[in-house]
Amino acid sequence: MIRNLAASRLKMVQHVTTRKKKTVGKGKLNAPAFICPLAQAKDHGIRQVMDAEGNLTGDLADPDLADGQLIRLYEMMVLVRAIDDRGWILQRSGRVEFWIPHRGLEAVHTAATIAFNDDDWIFLGYRHPGTLLLRGVPLVQLFAQFFGRADEPFKGRRLPTLMGDRRANVVPMTTQVGSYIPHACGAAWAAKIKGDDTRFLAFFGEGSSSRGEFHSALNFAGVHKPPVVFLCENNGWAVTTPTSLQTASTTFAEKGDAYGVRNIRVDGNDPLAVFAATREARDLAPEKGATLIEAVTYRMGYHTTSDNPDLYRTPEEVAVWEAWDPLIRMRKYLENKDLWNEQHEEELWARCLAEIDVAVHAAEAMPLPGPASMFDDTFEEPTWMLEEQREQLLAELEPGE
Amino acid sequence: MAIQVLMPALSPTMTEGKIAAWMKSEGDAITSGDVLCEIETDKATMEVEAIDEGVLGKILVAAGTEGVAVNVPIAVILEDGEDASAADALSAAPESAPAAAPVAAPAAPAAASPAPEPEYTGPTKAMTVREALRDAMAEEMRADENVFLMGEEVAQYQGAYKVSQGLLDEFGERRVIDTPITEHGFAGLGVGAAFGGLKPIVEFMTFNFAMQACDQIINSAAKTLYMSGGQMGAPMVFRGPNGAAARVGAQHSQCYASWYGHIPGLKVVTPWSGEDAKGLLKAAIRDPNPVLVLENEILYGQSFEVPDDPDFTVPIGKAKVERAGSDVTITAFSITVGYALEAAETLAAEGIEAEVINLRSIRPLDIDTISNSVQKTNRLVTVEEGWAPYGVGCEIATQVMEVAFDYLDAPVHRVSGEDVPMPYAANLEALALPNADKIVAAAKAVCYAN
């Protein structure tokens, strides 16, 4: 059993429990369920390294990561969940405006990130704080963005969870889901034209595969073979739309076939399967060009804090997926290797929560962006109209003027 | 009865062409569908097929002749039993269809008009707007190896409107790239390439086809610098013909100047002359921000004297007084500058001296030049092909009101496209667009000169 250690974490669980009682398991929209296919992964063409118990039963070889790297990966997955728990509470208590939960989606982005080198570029989707943290971005910077403070790279201009930092080669997400898939493809193409060896990774959800940009980017990638990996996180639900209403294709991976793009379907709750597929795709990129990876996973939480999944899916559906929780599986895998135990777990959670406490307090104490900064960076150089507006605003704010 | 073969118009905007080769000789029998000759236009080489049967009696325009106007007789076909004398009689007769006069650029301002800003005084070369745009790209590609051109048909076919002629040969397929047909897709690829350190010139076959690329242009190219706190932007150029051409209907005849002029983070330029085209495009390529270059298909074939100097650029954000005058200010951009200059000549004959301002940039707008002019003339007419509501004229009128209200002796008058989707019928299309007469009428109205 995984015990819940911290008060904030307990609050989250209590919240979920209350929710379940309220709805008595009715998906009001009667939308088709996203039935967990992971127990029959082979039948669904889903490649695995490990089963639900962390045993090496899958058809993908264990990538044999060093012990230190395995532990670093697991610790980051736990930190991501702890951040999500806190983000939820911060939003529900009115301290941040908006939150996009990550729960259940910790494996894909963390494992894919360590499969790439630090000078490779990653285009983020929602729910991917682990990528930045693995690239060395301090936790306080993330919370500074969530609070819209001055001392973060985006100067209070970007929604919480539209994360990124160009200094870490992590391109922040654009709100129009999927519209950045061609950006990743174009940047990879630019690297190829320039003759440098940078590789590119783009995360997006299965809902984005319905957007024209997904098809444009894959089509172009098939023709021009830029060194890019398209990582489609199939988490079952695009807000309220289940995969069965998103596409009539059997898988999202097979869409790559139409464009001549190599593709693979992996268990997205198996971090080692994600790592193995992503690392292989990265390594093959200079020779084979793009790969489309479909990582089958599940959004256990809400789509955003403005959403209520009780209206469209049942607790029974969620419960099956909870048995395949990536944190549980990775922990069991580590325990099987004698790399982890209860004491480690308790210490890790305590450390994560303490780090988050420090980051939250430090970020919340930071100043808000100065009014004059609002006009910066509209153009590379300020125009006369912007200067005029800036002066006007400052004059209006000046007491006694 | 002998039949005249007339120089055909092979596209709605073609006014003249070259007879590249005759595929039949005088005396050859012709059946319907035979290829008579090859005609080279500024866009392509096309074959002209016979419609009628008979014998090719006489070739009136020899192979290799350039600048043959549309509707000029180029050959005579004799029917059975007719002899060559019928062809002579017909070719000697007055032309049954008058040759369409080539569209000439309105005369440059008279030498006597004082030029209020320093003019380029170096060497110039006569060339079309199309060639000026091509030279601008070629010069910048030679100077900066990160600059490259992408778009539909820009490489192998050398551009749907032949703007990229010769670029593939000179720069190769690494830097002149044909893209699949998806404006929002390849606009997004260009944004990504700009993120990745290259300097893309994204050609749209026309901005009319690029409406689906608005999301990439506005949400990604224009906003990324701001939303990333200055960490990364999209220095790049989106260019292509904008607005109406001729007889291409509602979905192909729209001006996007006010659409893109509305967006913070974008610069928008609208060349009229060859000098504008070359200087503004070069400045756009060098600019560190995303710049839209809204060209005009009808202007592509017009010739101007163009500065012949790789260092020549036209500053973005600066208008040009094309003609000085004391009685009324007329602002215009793109093709309407020609109409405004034409109107100014008519007005001058009636004793009204119009000052014509070529805006050159829509954003940033050079309000100083407009305001200085209005302070002198006290009257203002704005001209644009696009629709009036929320248009470029609205913005100019508002800004003039803010900075020079007390100088106005009459309400500002807007000349614009009629507020309807562009009709196809030739007469309705002509009525829907601004022209010199409409500008003359508006100028007289603000001068109370009727």
Token digits of residue A163: 């994360």
Q: Is A303 in the active site?
A: yes
B106, B345 contact by CB (below 8 A): yes
Question: Given this model, what pLDDT does residue B118 score?
Answer: 62
Distance CA A280, CA A298 (A): 23
pLDDT tens-digit profile of A221-230?
999 999 999 9
A117 with A240, same domain: the answer is yes
Residue B293, helix vs strand vs coil: strand
Question: Given this model, what pLDDT does residue B98 score?
Answer: 40
Distance CA B183, CA B189 (A): 10
Query: Is A363 domain-assigned?
Result: yes
Q: Is B140 in the active site?
A: no
pLDDT tens-digit profile of B398-439?
999 999 999 999 999 999 999 999 999 999 999 999 999 999
Question: Given this model, what pLDDT does residue A101 score?
Answer: 93
Mean pLDDT confidence for B323-336: 98
A37–B contact, CB cutoff 8 A: no
Nearest to A179 among B188, B194, B227 (CB): B188
pLDDT tens-digit profile of A368-385?
999 999 999 999 998 888
Domain of residue A395 covers: 373-401
Closest CA to A216 of A261, A170, A171: A261
Query: Is A202 domain-assigned?
Result: yes
Nearest to A377 among B188, B226, B267 (CB): B226
Nearest to B227 among A157, A187, A188 (CB): A157
Nearest to A174 among B180, B220, B231 (CB): B220
Specify the DSSP class assigned to residue B68.
E
Distance CA B314, CA B318 (A): 8
Query: Is A292 domain-assigned?
Result: yes
A307 with A388, same domain: the answer is no
**Interchain proximity A186–B229, CB inside 8 Å:** no
Q: Report if pTM > 0.90.
A: no
A284 with A379, same domain: the answer is no
Residue B37, helix vs strand vs coil: strand
pLDDT tens-digit profile of B64-75?
998 898 888 999
Question: Given this model, what pLDDT does residue B213 score?
Answer: 96
Query: Is A16 domain-assigned?
Result: no
A101, A304 contact by CB (below 8 A): yes
A356 with A396, same domain: the answer is no
Question: Given this model, what pLDDT does residue B49 score?
Answer: 81
Token digits of residue B346: 């008519």
Single-letter amino acid code for the residue at B389: P
A399 with A268, same domain: the answer is no
CATH of the domain at A241: 3.40.50.970
A204 with A187, same domain: the answer is yes
Query: Is A20 domain-assigned?
Result: no
Question: Given this model, what pLDDT does residue A28 score?
Answer: 54
pLDDT tens-digit profile of B130-178?
999 999 999 999 999 999 999 999 999 999 999 999 999 999 999 999 9
Distance CA A377, CA A155 (A): 10
Closest CA to A269 of A26, A87, A51: A51
Question: Given this model, what pLDDT does residue A32 score?
Answer: 79
pLDDT grade for B32, boundaries at 50, 70 and 90? confident
Report chain A residues whose CB lies below 8 A from the CB of B229: 152-155, 157, 377
**Interchain proximity B185–A215, CB inside 8 Å:** yes
A298 with A377, same domain: the answer is no
A59 with A114, same domain: the answer is yes
Report chain A residues whose CB lies below 8 A from the CB of B226: 157, 377-378
Q: Best mutation site among A165, A185, A216, A224 for testing chain B: the one with the most B CBs within 10 Å?
A: A216
pLDDT tens-digit profile of B106-122?
444 333 333 345 678 89
Distance CA A341, CA A347 (A): 10
Question: Given this model, what pLDDT does residue B89 score?
Answer: 62
Report chain B residues whose CB lies below 8 A from the CB of A166: 228, 231-232
Query: Is A348 domain-assigned?
Result: yes
Report chain A residues whose CB lies below 8 A from the CB of B235: 380
Query: Higher-confidence residue: B10 or A239?
Result: A239
Report chain B residues whose CB lies below 8 A from the CB of A381: 288
Query: Is A320 domain-assigned?
Result: yes
Question: Given this model, what pLDDT does residue B13 score?
Answer: 74
Q: Is B413 in the active site?
A: no
A217 with A241, same domain: the answer is yes
Specify the DSSP class assigned to residue A165.
B
Contacting A residues, span 370-389, partner chain B, CB-CB under 8 Å: 376-381, 383-385
pLDDT tens-digit profile of A156-174?
998 887 899 999 999 998 8
Report the residue count for chain B: 450
A256 with A352, same domain: the answer is yes
Question: Given this model, what pLDDT does residue A234 score?
Answer: 97
B268: Cα separation from own chain's centroid: 15
**Interchain proximity B228–A217, CB inside 8 Å:** no
A328 with A390, same domain: the answer is no
A137 to chain B nearest CA, in Å?
15
B265, B289 contact by CB (below 8 A): yes
Single-letter amino acid code for the residue at A294: E
What ipTM was assigned to the predicted interfaces of this complex? 0.83
User: Which residue is listed with tokens 């911060």?
Assistant: A90
B269 to chain A nearest CA, in Å?
15
Of A47, A158, A299, A331, which one is the catalytic site residue?
Answer: A299
Which DSSP string corresponds to A71-124?
HHHHHHHHHHHHHHHHHHHHHHTTSSS-----TT-HHHHHHHHHTS-TTSEEE-
Token digits of residue B409: 């002796």
How many domains in chain A?
2
A353 with A233, same domain: the answer is yes
Query: Is A1 domain-assigned?
Result: no
